[in-house]
Structure 1
């Protein structure tokens, strides 16, 4: 039995722990992760301190208490709450906070991959966790588009780091510990009082004396003592995430001509943008945006020309820095950042460009620099390597593009590449899938897209504030779909009155819903469809331009909205000339994602009306149904010869096996991606007139069209059994799509629209 004195002592200890960890404890996540806690009626923080830690429960998603105790046996032996120890002591000491046995353990003979702590903010922890679990280099090529996916890796980097304190202060001991955790290389410490650190890692430390008014001379001395190809420059007022060093290293390894890659970007008006900071030429100090106004996504990175070395954080080639330092003459001074930026002019003049890596997760510490330097200027007073004004396209859609899942995402992915090739910043906001670790969002980030995801940005209002804080020179919003981007047209116009708004319909939802209502014979659905159609028309009139996919949609709207700025820009198809000939193929294919109801209706139509007459004429005929989210109720009634394959990673390879595709849609709107996908792989298609509408295809030449079950079955059998007809239509359909729906053709139309609205 516990004595009253013991209970009082335990209560006092618990109260001390609660006060210490309250700011870092995630109560909402704790209740979601452990729903039984709510049944106790206790506050989640109190439950964790009294019971949860002993039961192996975790205080937040990025902290593993059991691993912390296993990795840090002194904490375990002391009987301390693991999270309390990390908050009070372990964070500053750079203690490892978790490991993942699945990434390599004692059984494999490899060391486990560790997630480091240091003085990381939550964004740093997320970045380290992401690197530990995900490898962007393993994402399918179909997700990466034409952007360059830099390779990144978990764990510490290998190049040396140079730590310095701008001005005359000492380098804090906790920064030294953090640097030792972030690299396996040597840590060079520039400090006025060159003390010596005892303990683990001291063999990788080298101290350099800082003189009062000779920062450039001190920097040159350090450069002479460096070994290796790269060196990281780190002003200790900043706390970079481990992912930042990997991004910078990948950039320099990929392009040997680069001399330096940093986290800053100098724009045409002299503003120096850094993640969390901005400065304007002529001002004395940085304007802090703060952690909560963190604009750049912590996993997004993109190389852009920069006018200067980043004075606070960057990675450089040692040889290039030495060459630049040898040519720098003139007055020296006490500030190390000034010494670094003085290297920019000779480096820029050497023909080895300086680049900035945006979004490399540079996170501010509590110690913010008070008097950072102005951006370096060339002798004529102008910024070298001027990147010009900053244009941005804000892409708002329900979900990130999933080009391996549906044809609409292929178009969206290509749109993004076209925007990037214009030199624009592309910012993506998803209204439905907002998790930072969504693989499709990560794929966008790897291509250079700023993804405004949770937890950095919680809602559209916060997204707008981040976009406004970025200070883009010109803004264009691509508001996609009535139920996604279309929801924000009024809010966007009010917040950004000078921005250009483009409504990307994808298809006219009201028209599709109206056709579905007619087939169902539902008056209520018809009324709802008219409401949707009215809202779409309203959005069109509120926007500066509207993208329609098909000629049929253009004809539908022109009589009443002829005054609106309507642009016909069709879907983009990825083209692959057919390799297999007629005799090497057999059977039919239906392509479609089954979250889209017209595709479910089309398959039901095949099963109810089409398959029996086709199979009666050709008992060996087979049909493959390809696409995600196939309903179980349809799978249970598939007849002989029909197979539902579900999601197929390589649709091109699957199309190489069949002779033709089917598109027996009975309602819908816009351009049908299934038809474009089939023809762009040289596979002829049989479709209903509604499915083929608005695409410009000529029936009998590019496609076969039939609307009754008998005529449709006859068209399928004649095309499947006639090699000459099949060969002619395969070539005709492919050539037609390449001329109209290729990326090159669509890029010309999309760029013309953006030029028009931006003028």
Structure 2
């Protein structure tokens, strides 16, 4: 989100950040970036007045649930505003993988969440997709038109590669917000299955776990003797990442791009991850179930400088080739400008979005339910 805000500001846009969420100690200080912040309410007509008065030329929705809540209000009050959905990652894909993992069953993508999220994508003028793998899924499996999708990954400046050396680093690191279920599962997986085997071969090594909002059962895993250290929130990712020798990310479900792996790459910290973690990252991955392979990759990477340097170099090359900011920023703003000048034609070309905005799709259902409830009250 901060990268998107930066792109729009550089293009000359004035930003108003409206949210239903309360600020916390971990919140970005947007006011320092000349961004106006507003608190908005769910299911409240005050938003109609707010957005009408603001009269934005572009509205960016942070994930599909936000578009569900406010998209129709924007469409009614500011019909000429370009509506962009930032998917972050495909929630229905992440949820389907989590359910399949926990129930040990085949993945089922065709869920109620998929219906909701895909409807949100179709209603929006443009949806930002963070992973090429998810672009392919939307195009091939769900036949979503490419004209309303735009691939925009995490963006980074070119690496200076001026980072601490192999000898200047120590210990392993794992990092991730604990409000995100895949991160919680990864730490449990590390504690119970992976770390004891690594520690057995590298008795002096420690694993430092960083992340905000750690629940009680994660905090209770802290064990200095085992070298399993719960550090909590990291105020600066760069500071903790470039001190570590290897990043461990044994993600068993999830979607999108994994910010922790890109943070590791740009800070010169080689990483070991799973097939889920590596999706869209152009890197070698290990099967999510293969504990032995994960350990066998982690130990030599930590202990052998030659292997460590080779993987660090590959990671720098991946960032430069696939996530370099200047390769995307100009094209993105040009895409936005074209859509704004051709919005009517764009919506006509993708008329299904307007169909999904039509009130009659749900009006008969809810009128029937309202009458049903009315009859129940009379009967009582």
Q: Partners of 2:291 and 2:149 in 1: how far apart?
A: 36
Aligned counterpart for 1:544 among listed residues 104, 122, 125:
125
**Residue 8 of structure 2 corresponds to residue 427 of structure 1:** no
**Residue 606 (structure 1) aligns with:** 190
Higher relative contact order at CA 8 Å, sep ≥6: structure 1 or structure 2?
A: 2
Structural mapping, 1:674-685, within 5 Å: 674-685=260-271
Aligned counterpart for 1:690 among listed residues 240, 262, 276:
276
Deviates more, 1:608-617 or 1:526-535: 526-535
Change (3 A) 1:637 1:529: farther
Q: Partners of 2:180 and 2:160 in 1: how far apart?
A: 25
How far off is 1:751 after superposition? Answer: 1.4
Deviates more, 1:501-510 or 1:566-575: 566-575
**Residue 53 (structure 2) aligns with:** 469
**Residue 175 (structure 2) aligns with:** 591
Asked if structure 2 preserves the Cα contact closer than 8 Å seen for 1:576 and 1:681, the reply is no
Q: Partners of 1:745 and 1:627 in 2: how far apart?
A: 31
Aligned counterpart for 1:567 among listed residues 143, 150, 154:
150
**Residue 617 (structure 1) aligns with:** 201
Change (3 A) 1:488 1:527: farther
Q: Partners of 1:552 and 1:734 in 2: how far apart?
A: 21
- SS of 2:268's equivalent in the other structure is coil
Change (3 A) 1:683 1:751: same
How far off is 1:588 after superposition? Answer: 0.8
Q: Partners of 1:729 and 1:424 in 2: how far apart?
A: 39
Unaligned runs of 5+ in 2: 342-380
Aligned counterpart for 1:535 among listed residues 105, 109, 116:
116
**Residue 292 (structure 2) aligns with:** 710
Q: Partners of 1:462 and 1:644 in 2: how far apart?
A: 43
Asked if structure 1 preserves the Cα contact closer than 8 Å seen for 2:84 and 2:124, the reply is yes
Change (3 A) 1:603 1:506: same
**Residue 632 (structure 1) aligns with:** 216
Change (3 A) 1:438 1:665: closer
**Residue 480 (structure 1) aligns with:** 62
Asked if structure 2 preserves the Cα contact closer than 8 Å seen for 1:501 and 1:543, the reply is yes
**Residue 137 of structure 2 corresponds to residue 556 of structure 1:** yes
1:495-545 Cα shifts (integer Å, max 9, x gaps):
22222111110011111011111111189xx88981111111101111111
**Residue 371 (structure 2) aligns with:** none
Q: Partners of 2:104 and 2:168 in 1: how far apart?
A: 46
Change (3 A) 1:466 1:562: closer
**Residue 415 (structure 1) aligns with:** 4
Larger Rg: 1
Q: Partners of 1:479 and 1:520 in 2: how far apart?
A: 30
Asked if structure 1 preserves the Cα contact closer than 8 Å seen for 2:87 and 2:127, the reply is yes
- SS of 1:507's equivalent in the other structure is coil
Asked if structure 1 preserves the Cα contact closer than 8 Å seen for 2:64 and 2:121, the reply is no
Unaligned runs of 5+ in 1: 1-411
Count of residue pairs brought into register by the alignment: 335
**Residue 238 of structure 2 corresponds to residue 656 of structure 1:** no
1:214-251 Cα shifts (integer Å, max 9, x gaps):
xxxxxxxxxxxxxxxxxxxxxxxxxxxxxxxxxxxxxx
Aligned counterpart for 2:319 among listed residues 730, 737, 742:
737
How far off is 1:738 after superposition? Answer: 3.2
Q: Partners of 1:615 and 1:582 in 2: how far apart?
A: 19
Change (3 A) 1:464 1:527: farther
Change (3 A) 1:689 1:734: same
Asked if structure 2 preserves the Cα contact closer than 8 Å seen for 1:509 and 1:669, the reply is yes
1:301-334 Cα shifts (integer Å, max 9, x gaps):
xxxxxxxxxxxxxxxxxxxxxxxxxxxxxxxxxx
Asked if structure 2 preserves the Cα contact closer than 8 Å seen for 1:414 and 1:743, the reply is no
How far off is 1:626 after superposition? Answer: 0.9
1:87-128 Cα shifts (integer Å, max 9, x gaps):
xxxxxxxxxxxxxxxxxxxxxxxxxxxxxxxxxxxxxxxxxx
What is the TM-score normalised by the length of structure 1? 0.42
- SS of 2:145's equivalent in the other structure is coil
Q: Partners of 2:25 and 2:201 in 1: how far apart?
A: 47
Aligned counterpart for 2:32 among listed residues 446, 467, 471:
446
Q: Partners of 1:544 and 1:497 in 2: how far apart?
A: 11
What is the TM-score normalised by the length of structure 2? 0.81
How far off is 1:655 after superposition? Answer: 1.7
Q: Partners of 1:501 and 1:643 in 2: how far apart?
A: 44
How far off is 1:680 after superposition? Answer: 1.0
Change (3 A) 1:727 1:427: same
Structural mapping, 1:73-472, within 5 Å: 412-433=1-22, 440=27, 443-453=29-39, 461-471=45-55
How far off is 1:493 after superposition? Answer: 1.5
Q: Partners of 1:713 and 1:758 in 2: how far apart?
A: 51
